[in-house]
Structure 1
Amino acid sequence: MSLRAVIDGVESREKTLTVFDPPSSAVVDELAEYFASQRVTVREGSATVGPEGFAVLSEGDDVLTAVDLASLTMPVRHDVGERTAFSALLEHLDRTTFASYDVGQMLAASREIEDRAWRSKKGTLRAGFQRVEALEAQSEVYRRLGGTELDVHVYVASGDSIAEIDGVTPHIVDSAEIANSWFVAYDGGDVASDKCALLAEERGDRRFYGFWTYDSSIVDAILDYLGTQYAAAS
């Protein structure tokens, strides 16, 4: 288990939406753009049997659902009308997004999770900082978080000394994965639906490849790994 393994696991969960006999290739392009953040590959197919104009969502060799193409494209184009078939497809997609972010986008996504923890003021929040300067830049945010009932943990690569922040447990970690990763994970406190996490790996030129998720099992995996792997680091 590692943070990279979590990223690889989310990436491997990609599903495929096969659009059979669409009226035009533009429909396929629209759907590909719409579902890109859900790790859905959209492709065009031709049906030899069955009705015209339908789409099949699959994961590997498993067919998850099939929907009428008219019902599928309607909310994408107009955001109105009957959504029964569209909802049947969406229920098979979690809200995990997977993309490449720059530093500004990573900061914005991190703040969303920190704000959610701040509003709850309960539960556990774990955040990673590649450099001590990055933590220092966010020290006021974490001082406020540490002043609540939250159990706040911050992780910084070894070689740096961390100024004490009241209510925040520091972990100085001799680990390449901490030095190369950016993460913020919150367990939701008393509300399971509030669980959320951001996890990404720097892959050159200050761009980060990873995901944002509300999937409780993924959030739990990140939190459990950090809590266990680096429990002794301080």
Structure 2
Amino acid sequence: MSLRGVIDQVRGREKTLTVYTDPETAIVSDLRAYFASQNVVVVEADADDRPEYAVLSDGEEYLAAVGIDALRALTDGSARTVGEDVSYSPLLEHLDRTTFTSYSHHQMVQASREIEDRAWRANDGRLHAGFQHLSKFRPQRETYTNLSRGGLDVHVYGTPDVDVAAPSGVTVHREDSLEIAATWFVVFDGGGDDHQASALLAEERHDGGYYGVWTYDAALVEEALDALDALEQSV
């Protein structure tokens, strides 16, 4: 199965984020804008005299709860760095197998950071990242050099539009293929722990947005890894 095949087989179930807050607060509209491209519906509820917070659910099943400050950090547009503690991680972890229809470049970077951070903390296993073109890897070279300094086996993919020297500890795959040129991905095998396995797979569309899947499902991550192995063997 190809990377595109993995994306196509996933259909996310709609989840509900109930936000308990003061009436007409801006955070609700910010969250609706943030999750507009995903299978997540945002519902507003009155917090009354309680601290503001939000609950993520799948039907009647409770998934996670986070405070209002975590939601502001999620939607404020600020970039995060690998190794930085973020309070909204419990929320993102439960958006398992969530498909999205139009992620912006910023949202893709934020999702990538979440997976890179898991790999950095595990310090073991395989991390694969596709940048479409190697010129897009250049700004991330330092990040991936740092990721490779421990026990991670780090692989980077891109079409060879520029000459990029491989950082120490990083295997650079120069793949001149349409699939690599169109697909942004970050796949971490979990380092032997299925609970840490995660993947972001997205195809760039003509409008500059990205369509794909962000998953913490170990079986789906394994399918993505198999697709990458098949791609390397075909070269």
Quick one: structure 1 residues 144 and 15, their matched pair in 2 at CA, closer, same or farther if it must change by over 3 Å? closer
Q: What displacement does 1:37 show?
A: 3.8
Report the equivalent of 2:231.
229
Is residue 186–residue 219 contact of structure 1 (8 Å, CA) maintained in 2?
yes
Q: Distance in 1 between matches of 2:152 and 2:61?
A: 36
Report the equivalent of 1:142.
144
Is residue 102–residue 207 contact of structure 1 (8 Å, CA) maintained in 2?
yes
Report the equivalent of 1:9.
9
Unaligned runs of 5+ in 2: 16-31, 47-52, 65-93
2:87 is the counterpart of 1:86 = no
Quick one: structure 1 residues 162 and 87, their matched pair in 2 at CA, closer, same or farther if it must change by over 3 Å? same
Q: What displacement does 1:160 show?
A: 3.6
The one-letter code matched in structure 1 to 2:108 is: M
Is residue 125–residue 151 contact of structure 1 (8 Å, CA) maintained in 2?
yes
Superimposed CA distance per residue, residues 46-73 of structure 1 (whole angstroms, 9 cap, x where no aligned partner):
xxxxxxxxxxxxxxxxxxxxxxxxxxxx
Report the equivalent of 1:55.
none
Among 126, 129, 132, which residue is 2:128 paired with? Answer: 126
Among 155, 158, 167, which residue is 1:156 paired with? Answer: 158
Quick one: structure 1 residues 88 and 104, their matched pair in 2 at CA, closer, same or farther if it must change by over 3 Å? closer
Query: What aligned pairs does 1:163-174 form with structure 2 within 5 A after superposition?
Result: 163-174=165-176
- Which protein has the larger Cα radius of gyration, Structure 1 or Structure 2? 1
Give the TM-score of the pair, scaled to structure 2: 0.66
Give the length in aligned residue pairs. Answer: 179
Q: Distance in 1 between matches of 2:228 and 2:40?
A: 25
Identity of aligned residues (%): 43
Among 190, 196, 199, which residue is 1:197 paired with? Answer: 199
Give the TM-score of the pair, scaled to structure 1: 0.66
Is residue 132–residue 181 contact of structure 2 (8 Å, CA) maintained in 1?
yes
Q: What displacement does 1:229 show?
A: 1.8
Q: Distance in 1 between matches of 2:170 and 2:128?
A: 10
Quick one: structure 1 residues 160 and 35, their matched pair in 2 at CA, closer, same or farther if it must change by over 3 Å? closer
Q: What displacement does 1:225 show?
A: 1.1
Q: Distance in 2 between matches of 1:160 and 1:120?
A: 31
The one-letter code matched in structure 2 to 1:126 is: H
Q: What displacement does 1:76 show?
A: 7.7
Tell me the SS of whatever aligns to 1:230.
helix
RCO comparison, higher one (Cα < 8 Å, 6+): 2
Quick one: structure 1 residues 9 and 149, their matched pair in 2 at CA, closer, same or farther if it must change by over 3 Å? same
The one-letter code matched in structure 2 to 1:5 is: G
Q: Distance in 2 between matches of 1:76 and 1:146?
A: 43
Tell me the SS of whatever aligns to 2:224.
helix
Q: Distance in 2 between matches of 1:86 and 1:76?
A: 17
CA RMSD of aligned residues (A): 3.2
Is residue 94–residue 215 contact of structure 1 (8 Å, CA) maintained in 2?
no
Report the equivalent of 2:26.
none
Quick one: structure 1 residues 113 and 15, their matched pair in 2 at CA, closer, same or farther if it must change by over 3 Å? closer
Report the equivalent of 1:109.
111
Q: What displacement does 1:210 show?
A: 0.9
Superimposed CA distance per residue, residues 48-101 of structure 1 (whole angstroms, 9 cap, x where no aligned partner):
xxxxxxxxxxxxxxxxxxxxxxxxxxx984789xx9x812899xx972111111
Q: Distance in 1 between matches of 2:140 and 2:63?
A: 40
Which runs of 4 or more aligned residues in structure 1 lie more than 4 Å from their structure 2 counterparts after TM superposition? 13-16, 33-36, 75-80
Quick one: structure 1 residues 167 and 97, their matched pair in 2 at CA, closer, same or farther if it must change by over 3 Å? same
**Range with bigger deviation, 190-199 or 158-167:** 158-167
Query: What aligned pairs does 1:43-54 form with structure 2 within 5 A after superposition?
Result: none
